[in-house]
């Protein structure tokens, strides 16, 4: 009976750990999305001249925020 209770306790602990890990991943995803939205808004608020000073155009903003921007050679 004690072994059965220990197995149940271990299963419950594993389930709780998995739930906590899932929550942490979802929280991290939301934080990343929030940071991306803020970066997008900030870049959109710049003038075309300011964007040019940074070496990007308005059309490049989404790629910059997504991390897929590649500078032209």
Q: What are phi and psi of 49, to 5 degrees?
A: -65, -45
Q: What does pLDDT average to in each consecutive run of 10 residues of the chain (73 residues)?
A: 79 89 95 96 97 95 94 82
Model pLDDT, residue 40: 97
Model pLDDT, residue 27: 95
Q: What residues have CB less than 8 Å from 66, skipping those under 6 apart?
A: 36
Model pLDDT, residue 9: 83
Q: What residues have CB less than 8 Å from 51, skipping those under 6 apart?
A: 43, 57, 58, 60, 61
CB atoms near residue 61 (< 10 Å): 19
**pTM for the model:** 0.71
């Amino acid at each position: 009976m004690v072994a059965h209770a220990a197995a149940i306790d271990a299963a419950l602990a594993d389930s709780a750990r998995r739930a906590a890990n899932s929550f942490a991943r979802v929280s991290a995803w939301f934080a990343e999305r929030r940071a991306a939205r803020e970066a997008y808004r900030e870049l959109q608020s710049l003038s075309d001249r300011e964007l040019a000073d940074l070496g990007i155009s308005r059309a490049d903003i989404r790629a910059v925020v997504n991390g897929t921007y590649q500078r032209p050679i």
